Structure 1
Amino acid sequence: MLLRLRVSLPDRPGGLGQVAKALGTLGADILQVTVLEREAGRAVDDFTVSWPGPVTASEARERLSAVPGVRVEGVWATKEVPGSALDYDLLMHVVSEPARGFATLVDALPGLCGAEWSLAVADGAVRHASLAAPAEFDLPEPPPRAISLDARELRLMLLPVVALGMHVIVARAEGPVFHRAELERAARIVDVVAKLAARAPAQS
Structure 2
Amino acid sequence: MLLRLRVSLPDRPGGLGQVAKALGTLGADILQVTVLEREAGRAVDDFTVSWPAPVTTEEARERLSALPGVRVEGVWPTKEVPGSALDYDLLMHVASEPARGFATLVDALPGLCGAEWSLAVADGVVQHASHAAPASFDLPEPPPRAVARDAEKLRLMLLPVVAAGLHVVVARADGPDFHRAEVERAARIVDVVSKLAARA
Mapped to 2, the partners of 1:67 and 1:52 lie a distance apart of 21
Residue identity in the other structure for 1:98: P
SS at match of 1:190: helix
Residue identity in the other structure for 1:138: D
Measured after TM superposition, the shift of residue 52 of structure 1 is 1.6
TM-score by length of 1: 0.97
Alignment-derived partner of residue 176 in structure 2: 176
Measured after TM superposition, the shift of residue 156 of structure 1 is 0.4
Mapped to 2, the partners of 1:150 and 1:63 lie a distance apart of 27
SS at match of 1:141: coil
Alignment-derived partner of residue 61 in structure 2: 61
Alignment-derived partner of residue 89 in structure 1: 89
Residue identity in the other structure for 2:2: L
SS at match of 1:54: coil
Mapped to 1, the partners of 2:123 and 2:149 lie a distance apart of 21
Alignment-derived partner of residue 138 in structure 1: 138
Q: What runs of 5+ residues in structure 2 fail to find an aligned partner?
A: none
Mapped to 1, the partners of 2:86 and 2:58 lie a distance apart of 29
Mapped to 2, the partners of 1:167 and 1:31 lie a distance apart of 33
Mapped to 2, the partners of 1:109 and 1:193 lie a distance apart of 12
Alignment-derived partner of residue 23 in structure 1: 23
- Divergent runs of 4+, >6 A: none
Map 1:1-204 → 2, pairs under 5 A: 1-200=1-200
Measured after TM superposition, the shift of residue 159 of structure 1 is 0.1
Mapped to 1, the partners of 2:54 and 2:119 lie a distance apart of 30
Question: Which stretch shows the higher mean deviation, 50-59 or 177-186?
Answer: 50-59
Q: What runs of 5+ residues in structure 1 fail to find an aligned partner?
A: none
- Output the aligned Cα RMSD: 0.5
Report the identity percentage. 89
Mapped to 2, the partners of 1:176 and 1:150 lie a distance apart of 10
Measured after TM superposition, the shift of residue 91 of structure 1 is 0.2
Q: How many residues align?
A: 200
Measured after TM superposition, the shift of residue 116 of structure 1 is 0.5
